[in-house]
Structure 1
Amino acid sequence: MKTTPVSTYPGIVHGSARKGYSICFPDFPGCVSAADSLDALRDMAREALALHIEGMREDGADIPKPTTLEAARRHEFAGGADLFLAVDVPVPASHVIRLNVTMPEAILRKVDTYARKTGLARSTILSRAAERYVTAS
């Protein structure tokens, strides 16, 4: 089975079991997530970070190399942090290619409905579906 390379980015966590937890990433200003438990936060953080990186890639932005945990401890948002979480995300493809695709209209309607519900771009949905399909075998 082919493995996908990952990068590990540090997240700064604030919160408690009583109030819930939030996470932000020094390498990605504006990328935040929250959850009621630390286990859920780990999953939500991974998803938020992957989506943020994917959006940057689609916009042609450079993806930063991960900050070290030591550097994250000195970040301006680290004051009062309850813990630091190392979040693994797949390394995005180095180059995005625009293409035309032909598919049945009914499937496209389903993709567009899903896109409206989730806020994801059509190309993101199709890319993820293709990635899952080709890596499942």
Structure 2
Amino acid sequence: MRYAVVIEKAGAGFSAYVPDLPGCVAAGPDVEHVERLIHEAIAFHLEGLKEDGFPVPLPVSRVEYMEVAA
């Protein structure tokens, strides 16, 4: 599956979250680190859902960039 991930600047580092997986988050000093951590967090989150007998949410969020006058 392919989930949308939001990566944001947070203080001196970066944070990431997955809109379709509430509570699935990661934080780190740089984007590359956060990308690795959120990938691991998604795998761990999905594994936990399966182990606890919960359905795995389908990825439904999408990301679009809009052009606006600045």
Q: Distance in 1 between matches of 2:21 and 2:3?
A: 9
Hey, which bits of structure 1, 4+ residues long, moved more than 6 A?
none
Task: Tell me what 2:68 maps to.
Answer: none
Once residues 27 and 20 of structure 2 are traced to their aligned partners in structure 1, the CA distance between those partners, rounded to angstroms, is 17
TM-score, scaled to structure 1: 0.43
Report the CA distance between 1:65 and its aligned residue: 1.1
Unmatched 5+ stretches in structure 1 = 1-6, 74-137
Alignment pair present for 1:21 and 2:17: no
TM-score (norm 2): 0.80
Higher helix share: 1
Quote the RMSD (CA, aligned, Å): 1.6
Is 1:41 the counterpart of 2:34? The answer is yes
Offset, 1:29:
0.7
Q: For the pair shown, which has the larger CA radius of gyration, 1 or 2?
A: 1
* Structure 2 residues not aligned, in runs of 5+: 65-70
- Residues 19-98 of structure 1: pairs in structure 2 closer than 5 A: 19-70=12-63
Give the 3-state SS of the residue equivalent to 1:9 in structure 2.
coil
